[in-house]
Amino acid sequence: MGFINPAPVPFDVEEWKQKPHLERIKPLAQDWGINGFGTPYAIYVLYIVKLVGFSLGAIAVIGGTTSGLGGLGDFSDWWTQPIVWQKFVAWMILWEIIGLGSSSMALSFRFLPPIGSSIAWLRPGTIRLPPWPDKVPLTAGNRRTLVDVGLYAGVLVTGFHLLLADGKLDGTTGVLRLDTTWIVALLVCWGLLGLRDKVAYLCGRPELYGLLMIVFLFPLKNLIVASQITMVCIWFGAASSKLNHHFPSVVAVMISNTPWNRSKTMKRRLWMNHPEDQRASPFAAFAAHTGTAMEFGLPALLFVTHKGTLGWIAVVGMIIFHVHITSTFPLAVPLEWNLFMIFGTLLMFGHYGVPLNTLDSAPLLVILLASGIAVPVLGNMRPDLISFLPSMRYYAGNWATSQWLFRRDTGAEEKLDATIKKSAPVVARQLATLYDEDLAEIFLTKALAFRAMHPHGRALNGLLPHAAVDGDVEAYKVREGEFLCGALVGWNFGDGHFHGKQLLDAVQEQCHFAPGELRIITLESQPIQVQTQQYKIWDAATGLVEEGEVKVADMLSRQPWLDLSYDFPVHVRTRVDAPAAAAPARQPAAAG
């Protein structure tokens, strides 16, 4: 790959364009296996610059707005103050919910513009996705109103006040802390925003930063140990979710895309027999399970030791763990979250140790256990009910997903840009603006290859003929739902519940697709207690087309390109007679 230009493709583009879908995926998956996505190095430099700005900005703002602190040169004198930790959490909420953190810039297929959240959520008329529109009064509908804009602005205003205002002296300890009145105001605005739009709510990462804000409402003596319990729950929850057959593939895909590792020999070891057998190898499984053991063992060691030699070994181990994740630049780019966990590890465990005797609030303990244990357990058993974020299944590879199929002969995909008010053009148009249409199509297909290298992606490929009218996959453009979601609703981070039937209905309300013109496949996460995944296929105009289940074992036994055959075992429970294919239609006028 070059510094500015992406790596050249290993095939003749004109010949590749004439091949059927699975044959187009195969060379891209094989190339990814040893070369990764082929991202220009300049993109990684931009992310590094952003991380430096994120870190220095946090120090400058927190130090410069809080009495008794100082600047960068005095950081070692004031970084352990409780209000520094509290303001850093406020900084993280703002950074994420504005759109500067996870799922920003090119590695999340966000090019022009590089962020989406605030661009979408400060504009009435954009799409919103309420979590329970049929159960919670005053939340129905899928268009953003001035109320939604006001609630989002309320989160920003209260968050900035907490970040920029000086702290208040705690009556018991005499040290500075955030004003609890403004914390309540932030949580109320955030919660009400979440009832109107689950995407904007989850973007701020309530399972971590929201929980810590609740911790900050309690007496200050609870702050250290309650923050430690929160972090340990995050680690344990994430580690528990990796106890599945999906995770080795995640590690193989992630390491093969690591920008600093250019060893093709080592990368080939990640696969059974690259290039013809591109299933995750025992070496990839060993690497995956080693990481999982670290994520279980080291936090447990942190929690039972009070600093000392073993405690510091665990601190250094967890820092290495998060530095490694950051250095791989995973496609969802949760980079700032990893830096936050590194800082928290140094502060909460390296500096303070574990003062368990200071947690004397039963209500706080109930809140911590409910959020840190009960919700993840339920989310792993019923992933259809709870997002993978509060379920703490960040890197597990066991995610809800979707793929969208647009009729080629009706210009179906182009209707999204012509009709829907959103934060950015669809990714195909963004890429065509930067490069050309051929390279844009290659990038979009490489995103499908990325998905196919995970077990659930093979099920999605196998379901394509079930979704296409008359099984004619070539009549459709196949798009990754994750990246469509980023343009349509402002944020995407791996949760297929953002780009399933609810988003399809919102799109259909504005675009009025004909029967057969737009179909989507939604694949739910695997519940931890079974070895199958549920799927549904929807038509934008007519509703349910098919539902059933697929076995995880069948996904694991096949190549990303399904050996160039759609002969994939599927248990169909319901099939609705498909309507005739849509006839070509005139394009609507461009949206104003």
Rg of the chain taking only CA atoms, in angstroms: 24
SS3 label, residue 267: helix
Structural domain range at position 468: 401-575
Q: Which pLDDT does position 245 carry in this prediction?
A: 94
List of the chain residues with pLDDT < 50: 582-592
Is 187 part of a structural domain of the chain?
A: no
Amino acid at 523: L
- 542 CB-near residues (< 8 Å, 6+ apart): 515, 576, 579
Q: What is the C-alpha to C-alpha distance for residues 82 and 175, in angstroms, rounded to an integer?
A: 8
SS3 label, residue 522: strand
Instruction: Write phi, then psi, for 529 (nearest 5 degrees).
Output: -95, 0
Is 563 part of a structural domain of the chain?
A: yes
Domain count, the chain: 1
Tell me which residue of 470, 479, 434 sits closest to 545, measured CA to CA.
470
Buried b (16+ CB within 10 A) or exposed e, 452-468: bbbbbbbbbbbbbbbbb
Is 473 part of a structural domain of the chain?
A: yes
Q: Are 486 and 407 in contact (CB under 8 A)?
A: no
Is 551 part of a structural domain of the chain?
A: yes
Is 526 part of a structural domain of the chain?
A: yes
Q: Which pLDDT does position 555 carry in this prediction?
A: 96
Is 40 part of a structural domain of the chain?
A: no
Is 385 part of a structural domain of the chain?
A: no
Residue found under tokens 């250094």:
316
Q: Which pLDDT does position 345 carry in this prediction?
A: 96
Is 194 part of a structural domain of the chain?
A: no
